[in-house]
Amino acid sequence: MHKIQEVSEQSPWEISLHDKPSVLIVDDDKEVRDSLEYALISSNMQVTLCENGTEALLAAMSGYYDYIITDFKMPGMHGIELVRRLREVLPPLVVIVGMSSLEVDVPFLKAGANDFLLKPFVPYNVAMMLDGGDIPA
């Protein structure tokens, strides 16, 4: 994680204003957003919630995120398009997609996703994964 040095000379995504990992969660399902938020905050992470791709692009352009977790199927902009757009404007970051299947994995990898989560998932397992711990089977 980057430490603050000369804030005026760096773009927002080059620095982190927090000592804890920052996560952007993008999902149109409020229950998924809320459960992930609770698990990640409980694991001492900074969390921002967005319910669609447009909100996520705006959030990503105005802040710094160590991780972005996005759903695949959302109204408006699908997750693949979101990942593609994020990769065009942001430095490398970890993007985790909330779905995994052969039809989805290849397009997401080509768009720039780093990892996949198979829904349904246990929110605390996601927190452990982001924190570098082992995920229980």
Per-residue pLDDT at 124: 84
Distances (CA, A) of 7 to 16, 75, 116, 126: 10, 36, 33, 31
CATH fold for domain 7-126: Rossmann fold (3.40.50)
The C-alpha atoms of residue 8 and residue 107 are separated, in whole angstroms, by 37
Per-residue pLDDT tens digits of the chain, which is 137 residues long? 333 233 334 444 444 455 788 999 999 999 999 999 999 999 999 999 999 999 999 999 898 888 899 888 899 998 889 999 998 887 666 677 766 676 777 787 888 887 777 777 888 888 888 877 555 44
What are the structural domain ranges in the chain? 7-126
* Under 8 Å between Cβ of 131 and 43: yes
- Predicted confidence at residue 14, as pLDDT, reads 44
pLDDT at position 85 is 92
What pLDDT is recorded for position 92?
Answer: 61
